[in-house]
């Protein structure tokens, strides 16, 4: 019964979505009709229905209802409860339902809460949101029905890909999805503003929380995915430039650019056309990401989600929405009035420069990701890896870091080079000293050393905007920026020291023997079998010592029962100055075991930095929302006072 | 700005959709097994993997003797697991030529010193170009090449103990 309720809710939500689209679209066509009034309630009820459908699916997975095809093919009664639930979105159908549910809830939030923009613009925004939604409902109900029943219930479920039975990964896809959907909302705002010709600071302020929110979730999602790849795949790396990783990085790059340009538009009423373009690009990149993951058009480690037929469907959606939006942009962009002008030495210029650098990196990643596709069409097969991505993106990233350091201490609209010269000299000195120290004291390559230098510069620059300010009166959004920029420095420091100073060794040892890695001596004490809830494993007991007390590490090689698959569970030893990373390999046959050991100085900073970045985004979003609330309250109070004055004046007139 | 400039993004996007649509309708080429099975080795010449070694070319496979071509890498964990079984293939008389993917002579020397050296010749494929041309999508993979340089069989993934007899059998068939 639950499955049928879910399906019914889904159909009704789809119908309301259609209504929202049509009503909103009709409302924009002619003045003075009130059909547009339907859009808000339609959006709110649609959100509730989509939520109901998703709750039904969660319930089906929780009770392992094996008469439902999706549950039977993706779950198993022996799985721990948490992975039963995460199994609901660890597959194509469920994840599309999650996507639609989050999107409908965002629409509901706009419908219920957004009061700042002209009503007609909101209706156009909801119409755009409806248009995107209709396509996804059609996709979901037509070709990926999550509630499909089996003719007769299965005896047992097939399980979830064991690589995916992991905390990091359980929350990586939904986090990314929420980010993608947030960008779809930004996209709807852009389309709505283009249709009603309302590209202005109010529009930017209404859109900004969505962009910030999407960006925070994307940041967290990418960090979680990279963390998962780092300790689960057992390759010791944290980023592989795999097409699917790139697919999540590209929307993030576009969202980062959008976030900054929307701030310029909100604060200074400049960069109108550019912001609109970025809004379209950001959502295109998230659709493109979905397309790459689902269609299998590019080969990647994520190929477990592949289905070419679905690829065609997503490509059609992509063509309709992005093609439509780009056509609208081309048609309307020339009618967007030019925003305010600014001097060369100004914060706007720094932001524009970094926007361009971000877009250039986006272009580099996009080209590298799609190049195999183009080459294959020409009959050539190539693979593009770090030798292309690392140096070519660094060409644009390094100047971006330099400008990122200086930008926040520049004033809006116009500033003088002389005013900031002291700050710039301090920053340059920090950079040069760090680079020299790195070059003299280590044998790391040029890129890691530059990375270290820029990390130091950005860390100092990040807190500079606080200089001379009263900390208690500094706006929350400024704190957000400081924290996010500082997070970039921390993450960059982690990346640079991981790539510059990592040590790695491969050893074949029998029990009692040891291997040296970095500051640690690692001794194999023994290998023992172990049984988990739905797996068995070989677990090595390693004692690691850097001269002090020995610490025990237990890397495993796990064999899952349902479905049968072996995964490596690396063991990590966290120290303030780095991580010892151990992977248990195969038995050599003569009593020796393969051990792969890494010492990675400060590698965890990559993820701590990402968390700081996300936290900065949250602070900024909360700060902006609170400020616009206060502004609204102030406006209301001003209006009340004016009314009071008017009343007093009338009374005076009457008395006279 | 010229108003036609605003159409550039749309044009680029149309190009992408066309390309992606075309690719989707093509049969997937990364299907395993390789379509190269039954075809001659692609022409190549690769630098040596040992400091005192000679370059390896496809011509070296056409002298009448069937060989194994092992695609591997020192950075690949399954390749370590595979090493003892390559050793037993070598002991059973199979000549094995190795192509190390994205590797260096120093790493190779260290790896062979630690895990044994089953290879009659080793080459380095710095950019995976030969690996892709041969139709291998990962490391390790092992191909059976007959005496005329024709690819006869492909084994994907690391060779386990149970695979050794089959590979020897395929090698014997290739020699007939």
Quick: pLDDT tens for B88-103.
999 988 899 999 988 8
Please state, in angstroms and rounded to a whole number, the distance separating the CA atoms of residues B145 and A171.
Answer: 46
Q: Tens digit of pLDDT for each residue in A151-180?
A: 877 777 766 566 666 676 677 878 888 899
pLDDT of residue A359 exceeding 60: yes
Complete DSSP assignment for A364-403: HHHHHHHHHHHHHHTT------HHHHHHHHHHHHHHHHHH
Neighbouring residues of B159: CB distance < 8 A, sequence distance ≥ 6: B82, B85, B86, B89, B140, B142, B167
Neighbouring residues of A15: CB distance < 8 A, sequence distance ≥ 6: none
Q: Tens digit of pLDDT for each residue in A89-136?
A: 877 888 889 989 999 999 999 999 888 888 888 999 999 999 999 999
Long-range contacts of B53-59 (CB under 8 A, 24+ apart): B53/B121, B53/B122, B54/B121, B55/B123, B56/B97, B56/B99, B56/B121, B56/B122, B56/B123, B58/B149, B59/B149
| Mean pLDDT within A450-463 | 93
Confidence grade of residue B31 (pLDDT, cut at 50, 70, 90): very low
Strands B45-46 and A578-587: unpaired
Higher pLDDT: A412 or A253? It is A253
Q: Which segment of A138-147, A223-232, A398-407, A614-623 scores lowest on mean pLDDT?
A: A223-232
Residue A427 CB neighbours (<10 A): 21
Instruction: Write down the pLDDT at residue B29.
Output: 45
Interfacial residues of A (vs B; Cβ cutoff 8 Å): 234-235, 277, 280-281, 284, 291, 295-297, 299, 308, 311-312, 315, 318-319, 322-323, 326-327, 329-330, 333-334, 370, 373-374, 376-377, 381-383, 385, 387, 506, 508, 568, 583, 585-586, 588-589, 594, 596
Neighbouring residues of A279: CB distance < 8 A, sequence distance ≥ 6: A186, A187, A189, A190, A207, A258
| Mean pLDDT within A41-53 | 95
Candidates B6, B23, B114; nearest CB to A330: B6
B13:A589 CB<8 A: no
Confidence grade of residue A299 (pLDDT, cut at 50, 70, 90): low
Please state, in angstroms and rounded to a whole number, the distance separating the CA atoms of residues B11 and A246.
Answer: 23
A376:B115 CB<8 A: no
Question: Which DSSP category does A583 fall into?
Answer: E
Instruction: Write down the pLDDT at residue A381.
Output: 65
Confidence grade of residue A31 (pLDDT, cut at 50, 70, 90): low
A520 is written with which tokens? 């640690």
Instruction: Write down the pLDDT at residue A307.
Output: 63
| Sign of the alpha-carbon torsion through A70, A71, A73, A75 | positive
Q: Tens digit of pLDDT for each residue in A384-408?
A: 778 889 889 999 999 999 999 988 8
Higher pLDDT: A291 or A588? It is A291
Look over chain A and give the mean of its residue pLDDT values, rounded to a whole number. 86
Instruction: Write down the pLDDT at residue A234.
Output: 66
Q: Tens digit of pLDDT for each residue in B117-145?
A: 999 999 998 888 888 888 777 788 899 99
Instruction: Write down the pLDDT at residue B30.
Output: 43
Candidates B10, B77, B102; nearest CB to A326: B10
The answer to whether the beta carbons of residues A106 and A20 sit under 8 Å apart is no
| Mean pLDDT within A232-259 | 86
| Mean pLDDT within A17-28 | 91
Candidates B10, B28, B136, B158, partner chain A, best to mutate (most A CBs within 10 A): B10
Q: A64: distance to nearest CA of chain B, Å?
A: 34
Residue A174, strand partner residues: none
Give the ipTM of the model, two decimals please: 0.70
B81:A383 CB<8 A: no
**CA geometry: angle A452, A454, A460, nearest 5 deg:** 105
A329:B6 CB<8 A: yes
B84:A589 CB<8 A: yes
Candidates A315, A382, A508; nearest CB to B17: A315
pLDDT of residue A306 exceeding 60: no
Q: B148: distance to nearest CA of chain A, Å?
A: 25
Instruction: Write down the pLDDT at residue A561.
Output: 66
In 3-state terms, what secondary structure has residue A235? coil
Instruction: Write down the pLDDT at residue A184.
Output: 92
């Amino acid at each position: 019964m639950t499955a049928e309720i879910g399906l019914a809710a889904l159909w009704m939500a789809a119908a309301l979505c259609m209504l929202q689209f049509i009503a909103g679209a009709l409302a924009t066509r002619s003045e003075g009709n009130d059909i547009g009034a339907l859009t808000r309630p339609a959006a709110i009820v649609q959100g509730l229905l989509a939520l109901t459908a998703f709750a039904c699916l969660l319930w089906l997975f929780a009770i392992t209802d094996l008469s439902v095809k999706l549950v039977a093919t993706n779950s198993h009664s022996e799985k721990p409860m948490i992975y039963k639930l995460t199994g609901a979105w660890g597959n194509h159908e469920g994840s599309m339902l999650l996507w639609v549910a989050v999107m409908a809830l965002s629409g509901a939030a706009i419908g219920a809460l957004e009061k700042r923009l002209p009503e007609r613009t909101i209706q156009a925004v909801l119409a755009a949101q409806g248009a995107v939604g209709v396509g996804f409902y059609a996709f979901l109900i037509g070709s990926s029905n999550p509630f499909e029943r089996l003719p007769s219930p299965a005896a047992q479920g097939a399980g979830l890909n064991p690589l995916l039975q992991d905390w990091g990964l359980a929350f990586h896809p939904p986090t990314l999805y929420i980010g993608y959907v947030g960008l779809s909302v930004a996209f709807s705002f852009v389309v709505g503003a283009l249709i009603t010709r309302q590209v202005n600071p109010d529009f930017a302020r209404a859109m900004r929380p969505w962009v910030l929110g999407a960006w925070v979730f994307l940041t967290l999602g990418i960090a979680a995915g990279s963390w998962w790849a780092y300790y689960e795949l057992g390759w010791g790396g944290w980023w592989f430039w795999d097409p699917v990783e790139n697919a999540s990085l590209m929307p993030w790059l576009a969202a980062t650019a959008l976030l900054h340009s929307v701030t310029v538009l909100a604060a200074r009423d400049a960069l109108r056309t550019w912001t609109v373009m970025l809004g379209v690009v950001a959502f295109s990149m998230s659709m493109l990401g979905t397309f790459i993951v689902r269609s299998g058009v590019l080969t990647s480690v994520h190929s477990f989600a592949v289905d070419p037929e679905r690829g065609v469907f997503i490509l059609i959606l992509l063509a309709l929405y992005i093609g439509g939006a780009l056509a609208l942009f081309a048609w309307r962009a020339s009618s967007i009035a030019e925003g305010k002008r600014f001097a060369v030495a100004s914060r706007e210029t720094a932001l524009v420069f970094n926007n361009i650098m971000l877009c250039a990196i986006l272009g580099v990643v996009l080209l590298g990701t799609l190049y195999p596709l183009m080459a294959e069409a020409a009959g050539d097969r190539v693979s593009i890896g770090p030798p292309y991505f690392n140096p070519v993106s660094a060409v644009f990233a390094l100047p971006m870091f330099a400008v990122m350091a200086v930008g926040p201490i520049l004033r809006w609209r116009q500033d003088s080079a002389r005013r900031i010269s002291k700050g710039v000299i301090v920053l340059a000195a920090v950079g040069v000293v760090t680079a020299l120290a790195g070059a003299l004291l280590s044998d790391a390559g040029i890129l890691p050393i530059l990375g270290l230098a820029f990390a130091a510069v950005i860390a100092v620059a990040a807190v500079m905007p606080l200089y001379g300010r009263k900390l208690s009166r500094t706006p929350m959004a400024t704190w957000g920026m400081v924290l996010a920029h500082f997070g970039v420095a921390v993450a960059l420091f982690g990346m640079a020291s991981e790539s510059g100073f990592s040590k790695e060794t491969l050893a074949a040892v029998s029990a009692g023997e040891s291997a040296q890695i970095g500051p640690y001596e690692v001794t194999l004490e023994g290998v023992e079998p172990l049984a988990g809830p739905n797996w068995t494993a070989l677990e090595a007991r390693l004692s690691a010592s850097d001269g002090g007390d020995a610490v025990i590490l237990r890397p495993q090689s796990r064999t899952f029962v349902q479905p049968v698959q072996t995964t490596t569970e690396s063991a990590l030893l966290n120290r303030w100055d780095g991580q010892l990373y151990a992977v248990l390999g195969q038995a050599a046959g003569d009593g020796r075991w393969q051990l792969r050991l890494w010492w990675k100085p400060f590698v965890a900073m990559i993820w701590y930095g990402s968390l700081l970045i996300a936290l900065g985004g949250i602070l900024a979003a909360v700060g902006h929302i609170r400020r616009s609330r206060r502004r609204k309250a102030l406006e209301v109070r001003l209006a009340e006072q004016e009314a009071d004055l008017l009343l007093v004046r009338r009374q005076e007139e009457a008395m006279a | 700005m010229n108003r036609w400039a605003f159409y550039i993004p749309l044009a680029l996007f149309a190009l992408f959709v066309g390309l992606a649509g075309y690719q989707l309708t093509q049969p997937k080429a990364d299907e395993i097994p390789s379509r190269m099975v039954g075809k001659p080795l692609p022409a190549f010449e690769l630098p040596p993997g040992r400091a005192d070694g000679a370059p390896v070319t496809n011509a070296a496979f056409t002298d009448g003797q069937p060989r194994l071509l092992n695609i591997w890498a020192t950075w690949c964990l399954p390749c370590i697991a595979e090493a003892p079984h390559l050793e037993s293939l070598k002991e059973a008389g199979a000549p094995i030529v190795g192509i190390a993917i994205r590797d260096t002579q120093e790493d190779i020397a260290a790896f062979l010193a630690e895990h044994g050296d089953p290879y009659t010749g080793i080459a380095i494929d710095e950019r995976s170009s030969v690996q892709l041309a041969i139709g291998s999508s990962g490391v390790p993979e092992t191909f059976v090449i007959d005496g005329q340089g024709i690819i006869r069989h492909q084994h994907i993934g690391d060779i386990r103990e149970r695979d050794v007899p089959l590979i020897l059998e395929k090698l014997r068939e290739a020699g007939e």
